[in-house]
A and B are shown apart, each in its own frame.
Chain A
Amino acid sequence: MRKTVLFLWLLLLSAAAAAGEEQIKYYRVDSVKTIKGEVVDIKSETSFHKSDFTVIYLKEKKSGEIYRVEVSPGWFFNMDVMIGSKIEITGSCTVENGVNLVMTRSIAFQGEIFLFRDKYGFPLWRGKRGQPNRGGQGKHRRRGKH
């Protein structure tokens, strides 16, 4: 009986630990690819322990497959991409639990490109809380202008 209780406790503890620990995701430069497709949804979800992380669901043009595209914290995402927008995403691609996952480096839309990570995957929003992304086409830092 004592062994059974101990086993159940251990089982409960390990389940709780697994639930509390988000799987660590790495940006892999050897898995970077570019995907063209149409935005089917945009959500704020939990990722990298942040509750307000912008996630785009993208339907790839060629295959029709759906990708979960993790972009950046919401405050840094300053693009007017909407559902139905045709965009091009470059990022590190993996498959996790059957889900196509992209950690975004850049997004091109309507002739503009926005960068979210450098080529090694280092997030460009680090230490820039309060400053939305101003795009990557020489938009020099000027406050207050969106």
Chain B
Amino acid sequence: MDKKRLVLLLGLVLMLTGRLAAKNLNIGIDYNGYYSDNIFMNASAITDYVSQFHAGIDLSAKKFNFYLDADGGIYKDNPEFNTFNIEPGMAFLHHLNGRNAVRVTFGYAVLDYKELFSDFNYHGPKFQANLKIYTAGQFILEGGYDFESRGYPNYDSFDFLNHKAFLEISRFFKSQTTLRLQAGFNYRYYPHIVQNLDFGDDYNYFDNTKSQGKWMHKGPGPHSPSGTDQLIYGSMGIPNVYGTLSIVQGIGPRVGIAGEAELRKNFRGLDDADALIKNSYIIYPYNDDYLWDGTRFSLAVKIVLFKALGVEGAVSYADKNYPGVYVMDAGGNVVEPAVEREDSLLLYTLKLSKKIGKLDIFAGIRRRENTSTDDYFHYDMLTISAGIGYYFQGLK
């Protein structure tokens, strides 16, 4: 292609992009900063400041919204945890009769850590579907399904498929009370986890030396005739159910009090669930929903103050049992006699938020007090956060 044609093509693309941008293209940027005196939420009490950057582009076309989100996390003192993730995707919103709506989202997430934690790099597709129906008699029914598949190219034991489904029913009363009941089912499946071979037992294993991978079976006897070690893979599914009951009471339009109780049950203990435990302990300590069993109670007050300044204060208490997760010593060995981990968590949060023109501003403070049978998880944490976001809107 000669130079003139290239310039012409570039001009055409820019013109089209410009026209689209003027109509339906939106660009959003956010910066959030978090200071924590215990960034990894354990007894090590490591202090750090985390900067999170977000940039997103949305292109709207009729009922579709195409998006590209990019996020970066920068740890001031622990740069090995710095991440970058990017997610292109598409959302479809179809408004049914009245206020009823169905929403479907497809995305593909890619996350990268630096060298030390590159085992936790992943990529994979995501899918979400959601239906919300407003019925006569002040009821709202909502149902949703989320699917996520993650492939960890550097450590395939972490690969998983995640299914989440929920049903929710809400009822509004003239006393300005909303009663909401939600029941959910989560299922996480690890298709090929490296397992220790128990000689003499029958076993199934996933042979990833085949081009597409293949399940194999071997009978009693040494797994490798040559005597050299061979990776043996197993699979594991972790079903998890929960139910929440919440009550929101409005006291005038500007004050709302919300109480919530949650009951969570794991159907399978977590013996041999190393992939999940490592993933949660090292990288996602704040997201251990597949690990615990138990109850959680919370109480929150939301107030809209002058100039639409929003204030939210909340306290929550959770009693968490970790079936199949045992108290360990500093070397990672189970302490005898084996005792399962049990935690009690008290969480206090206070958040202020405000919109000024196209700016979204928030500031917050959060304190966690966690007691545990495992000393490593006996900790306190204080986090102070603030953020600002700006949304460039297309004109029409």
Residues in A lying within 8 Å of B, measured CB to CB: 36, 42, 44, 52, 54, 74-75, 77, 80, 82-88, 106, 108-113, 115, 118-119, 124, 126-132, 136-138, 140-141, 143-144, 146
Contacts and interface: CB of A to CB of B under 8 A. Distances in A.
Contacts of B358: 118
Contacts of A137: 302, 310, 312, 353
Given A129-B24, A131-B65, A88 B393 contact: no
Nearest to A36: B253
A75 B396 contact: no
A127 B395 contact: yes
B132 interface: yes
B256 A111 contact: yes
8 contacts: A86-B176, A86-B253, A111-B304, A113-B310, A129-B24, A131-B91, A140-B54, A140-B360
B112 interface: no
A36 to B, nearest CB: 7
Contacts of B379: none
Contacts of B321: none
Closest 7 CB pairs of A and B: A111-B256, A138-B353, A130-B65, A111-B302, A127-B394, A110-B256, A138-B362
Interface residue range, chain B:
35 or more
Nearest to A109: B253
User: Which of B58, B130, B361 has most chain A Cβ within 10 Å?
Assistant: B58
Interface in B375-394: 387, 389, 391, 393-394
B287 to A, nearest CB: 14
Chain A interface main SS type: loop
A68 B365 CA distance: 40
B303 interface: yes
A80 B178 CA distance: 9
A90 to B, nearest CB: 8
B387 A140 contact: yes
Given A87-B253, A118-B357, A108 B132 contact: no
Interface of B: 23-26, 28, 30, 32, 54, 56, 58, 60-65, 67, 69, 89, 91-93, 95, 98-99, 101, 103, 105, 107, 128, 130, 132, 134, 138, 140, 142, 146, 170, 172-174, 176, 178, 248-250, 252-257, 301-304, 308, 310, 312, 351, 353-355, 357-358, 360-362, 387, 389, 391, 393-396
Contacts of B132: 146
A23 to B, nearest CB: 20
Nearest to B65: A130
A146 B142 CA distance: 10
B243 to A, nearest CB: 19
B135 to A, nearest CB: 11
Contacts of B107: 143
A109 B178 CA distance: 12
A77 B134 CA distance: 13
B8 to A, nearest CB: 28
B308 A106 contact: yes
Contact of A141 (B28, B60, B64, B255): B28
B304 A74 contact: no
A130 B60 contact: yes
